Homo-oligomer: A and B are copies of this chain.
Amino acid sequence: MPSLTSVLGVLDPTSDRAVFRQIADALREAIDKGRFREGDKLPSETELVDHFGVSRMTVRNALSLLQQEGLAVSEHGKGVFVRPRPPVRRLASDRFARRHRDQGKAAFTVEAEAAGSRPEVDSLEVKEERPSPGISARLGSPRKVLARRRRYLLDGRPVEFATSYLPLDLARNTPIAQPNPGPGGIYARLEEMGHRLDHFDEEIRARMPSPAEVRTLQLASGVPVIHLVRTAYDTEGRAVEVCDTVMAADAYVLAYQLPAN
């Protein structure tokens, strides 16, 4: 068991860098160098207080910085730990290609099982709503829309929360309005109903989560969300669906392939 001094060094009293930043720097460097690895417990607040000879608030300030940076997570009653990097799910840009739809099973389920994870979908809700301005504009200002909400989990961990919006005149009294729309999902149903899909537009933003998003996605502090809004167009140029998705950013990498022409 190496001494704390050899792992963390000591403060530089001549430095004009704030003490809590120096402590954060020492911990960050130790993590970067692998002295603490994913899931390892960092020294307790008391140990850091003793080692650096500062007050507890100063140590907490330093640890709080690391949490904001997404490097550490604290667990009440246990300690502060190096944040584990969860397995990452890769979303390929061809994930909605027609050939995948023909298989029948939901893309999320197939792909997760192939990756050796246990997929779940919960909090499914289907209801009719008045569209928000953003959704309304994308769908051509329908008076009402059908909203399909669901949350996706991998191995019990929530990773994504998505809502699909469809113009009500298009979706009412169809399988799309059922909780389970059947094999191939709502895109397969849309095509059966004569809305042959032409292309999708996707808009990607990243930001910090709202408190509500922190709850539904069980996000650690220092983890942003990726906000993806996809609009599906049929061959007539009509927007037939908007899917609004919020993903835990530490669980995803999005992949796109672009032609050079």
Contacts and interface: CB of A to CB of B under 8 A. Distances in A.
A195 to B, nearest CB: 11
B258 A207 contact: no
Contacts of A254: 203-205
A115 interface: no
B260 A199 contact: yes
A125 interface: no
Contact of A224 (B64, B99, B207): B207
Interface residues of A, number: 46
Interface in A182-220: 197-211
Contacts of A114: none
A253 B222 contact: no
Interface in A24-42: 28
Interface in A76-108: 93-94, 96-99
A6 interface: no
Contacts of A208: 68-70, 222-224
A199 B94 CA distance: 14
A226 B201 contact: no
A69 to B, nearest CB: 5
A188 to B, nearest CB: 12
A163 to B, nearest CB: 19
B198 A253 contact: no
A253 B207 contact: no
A198 B258 contact: no
Contacts of A253: 203-205
Nearest to A187: B260
Contact of A250 (B28, B207, B221, B261): B207
B97 A249 contact: no
Nearest to A235: B260
Nearest to A259: B199
A33 to B, nearest CB: 15
Given A69-B210, A97-B261, 12 more contacts: A68-B68, A70-B207, A98-B260, A199-B258, A199-B260, A201-B256, A201-B258, A203-B255, A204-B204, A205-B252, A208-B222, A208-B223
3 shortest A-B CB distances, which residue pairs? A206-B206, A224-B224, A197-B260
Interface of A: 28, 57, 64, 68-70, 93-94, 96-99, 197-211, 221-226, 232, 249-250, 252-261
